[in-house]
Structure 1
Amino acid sequence: MELESRQDLEAPQDEVFAALSDFPMVERKLMQQGVDIRRCAGPEPAGSGTRWHARFKLQGKQREAEVTLERYQPPCEMVFVLSVAGIVARLKIAVEALSEDRSRVVVSCELVAKTLSARLMLQPLKLNRGKVERKVDARIAEYARDLEGRLSRSA
């Protein structure tokens, strides 16, 4: 299953990428949402090969995930591979320059079930694909507005 969302921001590409790759800030935001996340390995500052371990509740159960930053190419692209409950997700975040002061963020996610129970977890998402895509778009649009606001305040 593949999902994709595009959002345009009124900010330069390098600033948008720098904000998206501010991993300590992202870790703090996840902790505020109840995710226990810690960096396991990788270069400092974060780059290709950095790994995190996360614990969170999903569908009423405590889950554990391994997240690896597979590719890190500033100011254009980051690719993460997440493994949780038999599901492998490949999350790609690309930042495209539309002009000097305008950028587009493209977030794409490919979900692959590796076990039967993982297939059962993904099945409702596939059946409600339209609703899931709208929720993902809304969440990413909200994050983009927040990011755009932070960048405009810091300028």
Structure 2
Amino acid sequence: MKFSTQEVMAVPIQQAFDLLTEFSELEQAARRRGAQIQRLDALDGPAVGMQWMAVFVHRNRGRRVEVLLTELIAPHVIGVDFTSQGIKGQSRVELLALSPQRTRVMVSLEMRPGTLAARLLLQSLKIAKARLTERYKARVAQYLKELELKAEWQRPGED
């Protein structure tokens, strides 16, 4: 099952990449939502090989997700692999400079079943794919808009 969307951010490509690779802020946001996040690597900054384990409750069941940063090509590509209860997947973010102050952000998420139970889950999700796609696109757009607003706050004073 695959989801994808694209949005345009009113920030330069390097700034968009920097905002999207502030992994410590993503960890903090997940913790605020009740997840337990553990770094499994000893890397200092954003680099291929960064790894996390997240444990959280969703629909009254404990979930566990392992995430590995597999691709990091500044300022154009961020790729992660994840595994959770029989589902394996990849997410990829691609950035393209449209102008010095505008960046197209393309986000994709692909999931594949690894077990029979996961296959049944993904089959049931396919029934609601249209609704899930709309929610996915809305959530990505909201997140990128939040990053855009953060970038405005970070800009030096403009008179």
TM class, shorter-length: over 0.9
> 1:144 & 1:153 partners in 2: Cα distance?
14
- Higher alpha-carbon Rg: 2
Counting matched residue pairs gives 155
Displacement, 1:60? 2.2
Displacement, 1:43? 2.2
Instruction: Report Cα offsets for 1:69-95 as digits up to 9, x if no partner.
Output: 011111111110010010011000111
> 1:92 & 1:143 partners in 2: Cα distance?
15
Q: Which runs of 5+ in 2 are unaligned?
A: none
- Following superposition, which runs of at least 4 residues in structure 1 exceed 3 angstroms of deviation? none
DSSP 3-state at the match of 2:75: coil
Aligned to 2:62: 62
Displacement, 1:64? 1.0
Aligned to 1:104: 104
Aligned-pair identity (%): 28
Aligned to 2:90: 90
Matched, 1:78 2:90: no
Q: Which runs of 5+ in 1 are unaligned?
A: none
Aligned to 2:26: 26
Give the TM-score taking structure 1 as reference length: 0.96
1:128 aligned partner, one-letter code: A
Conserved 8 A contact 1:42-1:48: no
Conserved 8 A contact 1:42-1:51: no
Aligned to 2:48: 48
Matched, 1:16 2:19: no
User: What RMSD, in angstroms, separates the aligned Cα atoms of the two structures?
Assistant: 1.0
Conserved 8 A contact 1:87-1:114: yes
